[in-house]
């Protein structure tokens, strides 16, 4: 269906349909963000021997995030006097837009996908790299030293960890011979890439945590050192956008890991094919999100100097070695 729409001649009807589809996806993502935040707080609470939100919306606190967002939208919109106003206003949008754009190529199931482009993986990594501009701009435009420090840390971290992220996924690309996410999924019919590329998966996973700015790599935000990092001066709606970008990336990155390493919508065994692909995708996706939350509850924050050393001196050589190993294995056995 999407394929036909992409081929059809442009017009208002076409625009309307795409706009509607985009709005539907946005609503799905917002639903995930709402309950992803609640799930994170609940799981963190249970791991810290407390209950987490349990007041708003019944015993499970189901409306807690909704209430939080409503409060944020009602807050006064504060722009510091000395801030660079246009940049300050545009920074949250720059941070958020790429996080939603990357979802366009994500094959949720074999039918539910928006753009089946040939270089889907490259597109994802290239576009997700844009978010760091929003963070640096936000930090700089705030005219606050802590925000600037946070922004600088974000830039340094995102750039250094993007390299092992790309390098580790090269092994998968070598084995598939394609950058198309659909082909990567269909190539995993006889074995997920997590089994064929265990080293690549571990490196990718660590680098992805750093890309998501989550504990133990949450240095750009580090609420107890930098008073929140690049978004100290932000409040209300604009702050909500930074938060939203962070959780939409969690969605996108978990989906990407599911697609690239866990076989996407495919069932783990042939005889389980009767369960629809969407269920398998949702299951794998939830497991990945849970592992992110689990790691957040377990690990303390990295030190800033160790972070750089770990990225450049440990992850990058391992990722490079993984490429050579994969190339060697591919030329010998496949």
Residues 152, 297, 308, 325: which binds another protein (CB under 8 A)?
297
100/253 Cα distance (integer angstroms) = 11
Rule CB under 8 A: say whether 49 interacts with another protein.
Answer: yes
Nearer to another protein, 25 or 202 (CB): 202
Residues 47, 67, 79, 325: which binds another protein (CB under 8 A)?
47
The answer to whether 92 and 244 are in contact (CB under 8 A) is no
Nearer to another protein, 126 or 314 (CB): 314
Rule CB under 8 A: say whether 46 interacts with another protein.
Answer: yes
309/304 Cα distance (integer angstroms) = 9
Minimal distance in Å, beta carbon 45 to another protein? 8
| Selection from 212, 278, 211 nearest residue 247 by Cα | 212
Minimal distance in Å, beta carbon 249 to another protein? 23
How far lies 270's CA from each of 190, 196, 255, 277, in Å? 9, 18, 22, 12
Under 8 Å CB-to-CB from 109, ≥6 apart: which residues?
265, 276, 277, 278, 281
Residues 8, 15, 48, 279: which binds another protein (CB under 8 A)?
48
From the list 44-52, 140-148, 217-225, 234-242, the region that binds another protein by CB under 8 A is 44-52
Under 8 Å CB-to-CB from 252, ≥6 apart: which residues?
99, 102, 103, 106, 124, 128
From the list 10-18, 194-202, 291-299, 311-319, the region that binds another protein by CB under 8 A is 291-299
Nearer to another protein, 253 or 293 (CB): 293
| Selection from 270, 303, 314, 263 nearest residue 284 by Cα | 263
CA 204 to chain CA centroid, nearest Å: 12
Kindly report the three-state secondary structure assignment for every residue of 96-109: HHHHHHHHHHCCCC
**254, two tokens:** 């978990």
Rule CB under 8 A: say whether 50 interacts with another protein.
Answer: yes
Rule CB under 8 A: say whether 332 interacts with another protein.
Answer: no
Rule CB under 8 A: say whether 60 interacts with another protein.
Answer: no
Minimal distance in Å, beta carbon 49 to another protein? 5
**177, two tokens:** 């011979």
Nearer to another protein, 275 or 299 (CB): 299
234/83 Cα distance (integer angstroms) = 11
Rule CB under 8 A: say whether 43 interacts with another protein.
Answer: yes
Task: Using CB under 8 A, count the residues that bind another protein.
Answer: 12
Minimal distance in Å, beta carbon 323 to another protein? 23
Minimal distance in Å, beta carbon 297 to another protein? 5
Residue with tokens 């006097």: 81
Interaction site with another protein (CB under 8 A): 43, 46-51, 294-295, 297-299
């Amino acid at each position: 269906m999407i394929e036909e729409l992409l081929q059809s001649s442009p017009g208002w009807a076409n625009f309307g349909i795409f706009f509607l589809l985009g709005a539907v996806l946005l609503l799905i993502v917002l639903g995930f963000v709402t309950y992803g935040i609640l799930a994170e707080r609940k799981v963190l609470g249970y791991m810290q021997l407390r209950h987490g939100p349990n007041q708003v919306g019944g015993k499970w606190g189901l409306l807690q995030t909704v209430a939080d967002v409503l409060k944020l939208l009602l807050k006064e919109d504060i722009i510091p006097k000395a801030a660079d106003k246009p940049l300050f206003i545009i920074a949250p949008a720059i941070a958020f837009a790429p996080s939603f754009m990357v979802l366009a190529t994500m094959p949720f199931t074999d039918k539910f996908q928006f753009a089946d482009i040939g270089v889907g993986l490259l597109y994802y990594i290239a576009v997700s790299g844009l978010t760091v501009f929003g963070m640096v701009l936000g930090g700089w435009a705030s005219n606050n030293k802590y925000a600037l420090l946070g922004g600088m840390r974000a830039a340094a971290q995102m750039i250094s960890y993007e390299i092992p992220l790309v390098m580790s996924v090269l092994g998968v690309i070598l084995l598939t011979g394609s950058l198309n996410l659909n082909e990567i999924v269909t190539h995993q019919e006889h074995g997920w890439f997590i089994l064929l590329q265990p080293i690549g998966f571990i490196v990718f996973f660590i680098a992805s945590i750093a890309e998501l700015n989550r504990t133990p790599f949450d240095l750009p935000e580090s609420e107890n050192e930098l008073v929140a990092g690049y978004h100290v001066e932000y409040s209300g709606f604009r702050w909500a956008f930074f938060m939203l970008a962070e959780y939409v990336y969690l969605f996108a990155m978990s989906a990407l890991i599911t697609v690239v390493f866990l076989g996407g919508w495919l069932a783990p065994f042939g005889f389980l094919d009767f369960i629809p692909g969407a269920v398998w995708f949702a299951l794998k996706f939830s497991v990945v999100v849970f592992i992110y939350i689990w790691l957040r509850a377990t690990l303390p924050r990295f030190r800033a100097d160790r972070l750089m050393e770990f990225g450049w001196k440990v992850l990058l050589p391992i990722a490079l070695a993984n490429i050579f190993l994969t190339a060697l294995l591919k030329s010998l056995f496949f």
